[in-house]
Structure formats: structure tokens, C-alpha cells
Structure 1
Amino acid sequence: MKEQVYKTEKFANRDFIKGLTIGTIIGEAAISMLNEGTRTKVNKLVKDIKKVTTNKSFILQNNPSEAKRNCISGIKRIFSTIEALNNTIEKAIVNQRTSK
């Protein structure tokens, strides 16, 4: 019985901390929106996202094969960039080991 009470309290503490964290984040976001500069930046960001999303959905709707090609080429560029970064890191590790 004592173990069951302990587990219940443990889960209650987790829920309390999770709720407190979420509330803090929401509160900070609400307070930051009181600043006019922040509101302006958020408004501009939302408009930019809307423009990009509308453009991408238009391309996807009218020419899905082109959208697919663009997506695949973007993924290939990401992988090649990661591979180049990995090579650079490996070279840096080798250089560090040989310099000791």
C-alpha cells in the first residue's frame, strides 16, 4: 500500500512540474506579446510563412512531379552537406591526435 501511494505522489509531482513548465512558457509568450516590437516581428514572420506556404502549396497542386524533384534534390543537398561536415570533423580529430 505504501509503495502505491509513493508511485501516485511521484506521478502527481511529474504532472505538477509539467503543468508548471507549460504554464510558464505560455505566460512568457503572452507577456512578450505586450511588447510592440515583438508583436511586429511575429506578425511579419507569420506573413512570410503564409507567403511561402501558399507558394509551395500552389506548386505542389499544379506540378507535383516538380515539387517531388525539388524535395529530393533538397534532401540530397542536406545529405551531401552532412557528409562534408562529417569529413571535416574527422579531419579535425585526426589533426588533433597527430599534433599531440
Structure 2
Amino acid sequence: MYKNTKGFSLPETLIAFSCILMIAGVFIPFLIDYASQLQRLQYEVEALKFLEEGVEKAIVSHEYEDHTRMYKGVRYELDWKGGGNEEACVQYHKRGADPHEVCISKAE
């Protein structure tokens, strides 16, 4: 008798498909969390860039003014605290999310 060697049988196909689903079930939540962490880090990097630009401008012009900027749907607010030039903070938040803050002080 001849054996059927033309392809996979139905049980083999179902086992392979279930293995793929199990692997995807483990890694997809990890990838979603990783993507959200990456996005939060990108927001923080933009806040640090805005803070650096504001501090450099204040050092050159000796004018400690608050500024606001929108970038990719996120609002960044530069705020001078502590009597003008003691501390500079950038608060950033996206709609529907909690605000975050990055600060630098003269003592650092």
C-alpha cells in the first residue's frame, strides 16, 4: 500500500495552529506594554528637549518667561519656579492622561 505523503494531516495542522496562538497570546500583551513604555519615553525626551531650549534661551537673554508648545498632540508647558531662575519645570500631558513633570534646579 502507498502512504499519503502529499501534505499535513488535519491533526498536525490544528496542533501547529494552536502552538502559534499560544505563542502569540504570550507575546502580544508584552509588545503592547513595550510600545506604551516607548511612547512615554518619547514624550519625556521631547519634554527634556523643550526644557533645554528654554533654559538656554533664558541664559542668553536673561528673561525667564513661561512658554507653552503643542507637539504631536501633547502639550508641553515650561514653568519657572522659585523666584524666577531657581528651578525650571516642563509639565507635559496628553488628553485623557495624567500630567507628568520634568524639572531642573540651580542646585543640580
The TM-score normalised by the length of structure 2 is: 0.36
User: Higher Cα Rg: structure 1 or 2?
Assistant: 2
More strand by share: 2
Which structure features the higher share of helix residues? 1
- Per the normalisation by structure 1, the TM-score is 0.39
Work out which structure has the larger RCO, using CA pairs closer than 8 Å and 6 or more positions apart in sequence.
2
